[in-house]
Amino acid sequence: MIALVTGASRGIGRAIAERLAADHAAKLLLVYRSREDEAEEARAACEAAGGEAAIHRADVSDAEAAAGAVAACIERFEGLDVLVNNAGVTADKLALMMDDDAWHRVLRTNLDGVFYTARAAAKHMLRKRRGRIINLSSISARRPNKGQVNYAASKGGVEAFTRALAVELAPKSITVNAVAPGIIETEMSQRIRDAADKELKKAIPMRRYGQVGDIAGVVSFLAGPDAGYVTGQTIGVDGGLGV
């Protein structure tokens, strides 16, 4: 398996990359925007888990950079079987106080970046008549918190994009699915967990936060041979919060 994972230097992205290395002995291109030191640590962890990995710096909100990351993977490993669109940012603020930059910055990375990278990857997968595209959404697409109009809109767009692209690519044996994490113990969720820890855990039927491995396991399944007839789906991994 040859896989490209965006936002792979830490958190959920790194956990996904390591799981693909462990479960599938994957060859991985780990795409990151900054923090090269963390990307190198992720690369070493993937190789320790049984895979082969390289790092590539790119801002997927830029169409040329996103396409360049896909091209780099194909050149390095002579192919691309699995694309995991994990890169994402937040810029929370109440809608009436949100400036244009906060709106566009989140949409450019979280939604435009998914489109740019998937478009480039799908062109290669179409020629081979096989492939897996897995997009990271969020519980916020269905149950947003205050201040998340940009983030919720971006993730709702990811889910709609996933369904539409799945219909287009299914005849060529390319599956397109999304995974929607709930509240996972990551750096990105630290602020909201610190602000309302007891209330959040009370709202989650399982009464605990998720771990990055919970997301990685579902992505590994969608990337593997047992998910060949699963497409156009958004799988919630949220401890029951989305029920």
The answer to whether 114 and 141 are in contact (CB under 8 A) is: no
**Active-site residue, 151 included:** yes
The answer to whether 137 and 182 are in contact (CB under 8 A) is: no
Cα Rg of the chain (Å, integer): 17
For residue 103, the tally of other CB atoms under 10 A from its CB is 17
Q: What tokens were used for 223?
A: 């990337």
In the block, residue with structure tokens 């640590």: 41
Cβ-Cβ contacts under 8 Å for 123 (sequence gap 6 or more) = none
Amino acid sitting at position 160: A
Select which of 116, 151, 209, 229 is catalytic: 151
In the block, residue with structure tokens 């855990």: 201
SS3 state at 66: helix
Q: What tokens were used for 96?
A: 């009436």
Q: Which residues are catalytic?
A: 151
